[in-house]
């Protein structure tokens, strides 16, 4: 059986991964499950899957889980903190790692998995946004397999020629088209966006996602981060990547070729499709997702994104063009801004303002080492905290 570690197993990606694995009894062994502080959720998963390891990032939650596992008579060994995540990600019996932790918190365990030569199924775009060159170097040095889980990048991967690593231009690829639903505010009058609530921002019209990613989708920062991720995954620059708003979320992305062909991957908006693709690659395996009914869909609409409505797209492109730690600064400031918005300490329209201010105030440096990346991540968060205190004063 294939040893599997699921980082972020109680989140949306983790739960969907376990749903796919459940359909393939005898093929995978769940060796490790991890969560931040959701003790009840992880305990329930441990009861079903009986993994060798469970990791709680929060130390207090880890102590609770130790007691709960003992009381339930479970043999699972409980580890704690970032160190515990890195241990299971690089464990000798783990072949596949589902990298489902949201945000910068996933960087170190994902990098540990890459350095250990695992199949890294990457649902954490921040690992490449923050340290793309370092991460890709680790993949190449160890011989790890890097398979994207984001529906857009997974779609692009499926539409690429098998030897695209030799260079997109040499393989006839002219452009990558990342599709975006446009989120819940695609048609909302711009003057009303200032009054958007967290509940409204988290009500995505097509996808079931966590709160942070839902807000990123509403601001389209998620798409900006995906542009950066695509640059690293497919070895290209942002000038070869366009964003297309496609409200139905049926086409998950497209690849344009020099002969005029455009290849697209279509399917129902369900994360189990890219998860199953990565688990089974290079074969196809059952995901539990129903077949797409084109007669129900009836039409496919496309439009260009509005840079005034979605300034985060411009900020992400500028950060990628600047290079170095600019993308890490962008990501960290955005994480803090989104957290403040969800806590009702920051207006929705002020999220891109805070991110833009951070990029203007903090000069990017060459991202030569992980220490430099983490240092600029910290600097951006400190800047954001100070800006938020100023707003509250």
Residues 72-81 have a mean pLDDT of 96
- At residue 391 the predicted structure's pLDDT band, cuts being 50, 70 and 90, is confident
Q: What are phi and psi of 383, to 5 degrees?
A: -60, -45
pLDDT at 221 over 60: yes
Residue pair 141/114 in contact (Cβ under 8 Å)? The answer is no
Q: For residue 183, name the pLDDT band (cuts at 50, 70, 90).
A: confident
Largest CA distance in the chain: 64
Average pLDDT, integer, range 344-349: 96
pLDDT above 60 for 295: yes
Domain 2-148: give its CATH architecture. 3-Layer(aba) Sandwich (3.40)
Q: How many CA atoms lie within 13 A of 97 on its CB side?
A: 32
Residue in the block written with tokens 């009500």: 203
Q: Looking at the domain that runs over 323-392, which CATH code has it been given?
A: 1.10.1740.10
> Where exactly are the structural domains of the chain?
2-148, 157-268, 323-392
Residue 60 pLDDT > 80:
yes
Which tens digits make up the pLDDT trace of 125-179?
Answer: 889 999 999 999 999 999 999 999 999 999 999 999 999 999 999 999 999 999 9
The answer to whether the CB of 91 falls within 8 A of the CB of 31 is yes
Look at residue 207 in the predicted model and tell me its pLDDT.
Answer: 65
Calculate mean pLDDT across residues 352-367. 97
Which residues are within 8 A (CB) of 58 and not within 5 positions of it... i.e. 6 or more apart?
36, 37, 80
The tens digit of pLDDT for each residue in 78-136 reads 999 999 999 999 999 999 999 999 888 899 999 999 999 999 999 998 899 999 999 99
Strands (E), the chain: 2-7, 28-35, 53-56, 77-80, 96-99, 119-122, 145-148, 173-180, 241-245, 251-257, 262-266
Contact between residue 134 and residue 367 where contact means Cβ atoms under 8 Å apart? yes
Distance, in Å, from the CA atom of 105 to the CA atom of 303, rounded to the nearest integer, reads 34
Answer yes or no: is pLDDT of 354 > 80. Answer: yes
Question: Quick check: 70 and 93 in contact, CB under 8 A?
Answer: no
> What angle is formed at CA 335 by the lines to CA 363 and CA 5, rounded to 5 degrees?
115
Q: Cis (ω within 30 of 0) for the bond into 282?
A: yes
Q: Is 197 exposed, middle or buried (CB count within 10 Å of its CB: 0-12, 13-18, 19+)? A: exposed
pLDDT of 393 above 60: no
Q: Is the pLDDT of residue 205 over 80?
A: no
Tell me what the mean pLDDT of segment 353-361 comes to.
98
The better pLDDT of the pair 279, 210 is held by 279
% of the chain surpassing 90 pLDDT: 92
CB contact set of 354 (below 8 Å; sequence gap of 6+) = 333, 336, 337, 340, 346, 384, 387, 388
Is residue 208 scored above 90 in pLDDT?
Answer: no
pTM of the model: 0.93
Token pair for 338: 């989104």
Give CA–CA dist 95/277, Å, rounded. 16
pLDDT of residue 33: 98
Q: Are 120 and 93 within 8 A, CB to CB?
A: no
Contacts of 304 (CB under 8 A, 6+ apart): 244, 245
- Looking at residue 104, its pLDDT comes to 83
220 secondary structure, DSSP code? T
Structure tokens at 330: 């962008």
In this prediction, residue 213 has a pLDDT band, given cuts at 50, 70 and 90, of confident
* Average pLDDT of the residues in 14-33: 97
90 closest CA partner among 134, 26, 31: 31
What does the pLDDT look like over 240-275, one tens digit per residue?
999 999 999 999 999 999 999 999 999 999 999 999
> By percentage, how much of the chain surpasses pLDDT 70?
99
Contact in structure between 334 and 355 (CB atoms under 8 Å): yes
The confidence band for 390, taking pLDDT boundaries of 50, 70 and 90, is confident
Please calculate the CA angle 119-122-123 and round it to the nearest 5 degrees.
145
CA separation for the pair 342, 62 (Å, rounded): 26
Type and span of the H or E element at 315:
helix 311-322
Mean residue pLDDT of the chain comes to 95
CA-based angle 313:318:322, to the nearest 5? 150
């Amino acid at each position: 059986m294939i040893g599997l570690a699921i980082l972020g197993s109680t989140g949306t990606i983790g739960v969907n991964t376990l749903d796919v694995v459940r359909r393939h009894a005898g093929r995978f062994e769940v060796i490790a499950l991890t969560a931040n502080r959701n003790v009840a959720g992880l305990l329930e998963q441990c009861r079903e899957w009986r993994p060798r390891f469970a990791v709680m990032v929060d130390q207090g939650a880890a102590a609770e889980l130790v007691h709960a596992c003992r009381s339930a008579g479970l043999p699972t060994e409980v580890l704690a903190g970032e160190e515990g995540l890195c241990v299971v990600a690089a464990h000798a019996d783990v072949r596949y790692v589902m990298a489902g932790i949201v945000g910068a918190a996933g960087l170190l365990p994902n990098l540990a998995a890459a350095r250990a030569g695992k199949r890294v199924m990457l649902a954490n775009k921040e690992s490449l946004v923050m340290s793309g060159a370092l991460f890709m170097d680790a993949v190449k040095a160890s011989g790890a397999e890097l398979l994207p889980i984001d529906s857009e990048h997974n779609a692009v991967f499926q539409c690429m020629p098998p030897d695209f690593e030799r260079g997109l231009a040499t393989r006839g690829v002219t452009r990558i088209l990342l599709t975006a639903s446009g989120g819940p505010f695609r048609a909302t009058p711009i003057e009303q966006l200032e009054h958007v609530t967290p509940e409204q921002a988290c009500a995505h019209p097509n996808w079931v996602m966590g709160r942070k990613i839902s807000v990123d989708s509403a601001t389209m920062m998620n798409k900006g981060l995906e542009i950066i991720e695509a640059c690293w995954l497919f070895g290209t620059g942002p000038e070869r990547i366009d964003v297309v708003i496609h409200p139905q979320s049926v086409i998950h992305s497209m690849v344009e070729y020099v002969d005029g062909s455009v290849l697209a991957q279509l399917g129902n908006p369900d994360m189990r499709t890219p998860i199953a693709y990565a688990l089974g690659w290079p074969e196809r395996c059952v995901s539990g997702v129903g077949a797409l009914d084109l007669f129900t869909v009836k039409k496919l609409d496309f439009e260009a994104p509005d840079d005034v409505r979605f300034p985060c797209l411009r900020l992400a492109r500028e950060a990628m063009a600047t290079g170095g730690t600019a993308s890490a600064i962008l990501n960290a400031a955005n994480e803090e801004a989104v957290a403040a918005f969800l806590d009702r300490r920051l207006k929705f329209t002020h999220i891109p303002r805070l991110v833009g201010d951070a990029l203007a105030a903090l000069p990017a440096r060459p991202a030569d080492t992980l220490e430099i990346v983490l240092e600029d991540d910290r600097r951006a968060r400190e800047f954001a905290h100070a800006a938020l205190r100023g707003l509250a004063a």
